[in-house]
């Protein structure tokens, strides 16, 4: 197999480098230019009011970030533009995020941004303008197999691998994706050292964390401003009220802290969120063992190539920084993905993405709809 497009292109490509204002995207753009490609930098303005998004160096949606990206492009010596995708971002990412929580699900906005913004809206615009590829600072690799099909694989360095949040990309999008950082066994310190050697001022800029459009990192407060207070009951598995809350949207499956339960469990052990019901605004709590999930169904699958047929063994990743677990997965005739786990897993919530792997290859992803637990008949 050979890595494409950055190493095996027969001609220089016209590359649009998405530059967030961080060190990874700046070094990726510089490497693409070093490879002989005709690179243009672009920063995505994702907020109609940039000051409302995170300030300082922790996000990717501030005025400061756009200036950092512009300075990096100047040092690299490439043209630079700012594209306004704020309305599209609001509709496809922010509003989706709020709606998912309101429905009692736990979304991943980074996956949605990659799917709807960076490799849909941005890529479509890039192709319309005659660009061949979109380059980002993600840690993942694109591989071309013997038959010419494009595949998404994990980064060479598993510690930095970001293929989970790219599992929404289809074969067409992969054909125009470039990840110059993905196949190098370099630590983040080495990436920063490279940026410093190149004279990029973002070399020492802290990594972004949390959700870029929540200015203070307070997800519950962000949701409360948009959905309002909605007092409800916290109940145990028997339905007995053990506490109250200001909004079911402020909880996630598996949560332990912040439950404000007045009385301890009979066995004295901690209790966790088992279920969130937006219909009656009720949060159910119980013991850790009741979180064990043995199977799930997932909807809206997106395949990084040909869809699988028949039941088959894979490994699955359930969160951006989680490990892999062996599963058997099958795509049903109605397009639903059914997954069973070899060993029970915890912290699985409807709305999350499950990403399937065959070795290092990303098979595809889907959105978790329901879960089946080993104990108790609660389904997510």
Q: Is 113 a catalytic residue?
A: yes
Q: Is 61 a catalytic residue?
A: no
Distances (CA, A) of 269 to 30, 98, 272, 289, 355: 53, 32, 10, 11, 32
In the set 60, 61, 110, 113, the catalytic residue is 113
Across the chain, which distance is largest between two alpha carbons, in Å? 70
Describe the strand order of the beta sheet including 272-277 as a list of residue ranges.
Answer: 241-245, 232-235, 282-286, 272-277
Q: Which residues of 255-285 are buried (b: 16+ CB within 10 A; e: fewer)?
A: beeebeeeeeeeeeeebbbbbbebeebbbbb
Whether the ω angle into residue 379 lies within 30 degrees of 0, i.e. cis, is no
d(CA 350, CA 183): 32
List of E strands, 64-181: 80-84, 133-135, 140-144, 150-154, 177-178
CB contact at 8 A, 323 and 306: no
- Residues labelled as active-site residues: 113, 212
């Amino acid at each position: 197999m050979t890595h494409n497009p950055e190493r095996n292109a027969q001609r220089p490509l016209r590359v649009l480098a998405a530059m967030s204002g961080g060190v990874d995207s700046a070094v990726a753009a510089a490497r693409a230019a070093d490879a002989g490609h005709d690179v243009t930098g672009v920063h995505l303005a994702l907020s109609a009011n940039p000051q409302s998004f995170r300030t300082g160096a922790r996000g990717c949606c501030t005025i400061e970030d756009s200036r950092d990206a512009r300075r990096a492009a100047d040092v690299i010596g490439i043209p630079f533009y700012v594209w306004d995708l704020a309305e599209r971002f609001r509709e496809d990412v922010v509003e989706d995020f709020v709606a998912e929580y309101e429905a009692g699900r736990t979304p991943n906005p980074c996956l949605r941004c990659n799917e709807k913004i960076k490799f849909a809206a941005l890529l479509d615009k890039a192709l319309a303008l005659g660009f061949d590829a979109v380059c980002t600072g993600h840690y993942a690799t694109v591989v071309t197999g013997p038959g010419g099909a494009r595949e998404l694989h994990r980064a060479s360095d598993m510690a930095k691998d970001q293929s989970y949040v790219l599992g929404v990309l289809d074969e067409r999008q992969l054909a125009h994706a470039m990840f110059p950082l993905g196949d190098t066994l370099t630590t983040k310190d080495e990436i920063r050292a490279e940026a410093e050697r190149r004279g990029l001022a973002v070399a020492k800029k802290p990594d972004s964390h949390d959700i870029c459009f929540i200015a203070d990192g307070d997800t519950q407060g962000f949701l409360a401003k948009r959905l309002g207070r909605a007092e409800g009951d916290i109940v145990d598995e028997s339905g007995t009220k053990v506490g109250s809350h200001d909004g079911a949207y402020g909880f996630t499956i598996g949560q332990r802290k912040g439950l404000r339960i007045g009385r301890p469990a009979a066995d004295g052990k901690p209790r966790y969120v088992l279920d969130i019901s937006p219909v009656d605004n009720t949060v159910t709590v119980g013991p850790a063992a009741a979180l064990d999930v043995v199977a799930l169904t997932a909807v809206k699958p997106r395949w990084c190539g040909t869809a699988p047929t028949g039941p088959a063994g894979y490994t699955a990743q359930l969160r951006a920084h989680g490990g892999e677990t062996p599963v058997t997965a099958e795509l049903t005739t109605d397009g639903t993905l059914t997954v069973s786990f070899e060993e029970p897993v915890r912290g699985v919530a409807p709305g999350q993405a499950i990403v399937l792997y065959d070795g290092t290859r990303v098979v595809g992803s889907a959105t978790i709809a329901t879960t089946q637990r080993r104990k108790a008949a609660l389904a997510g």
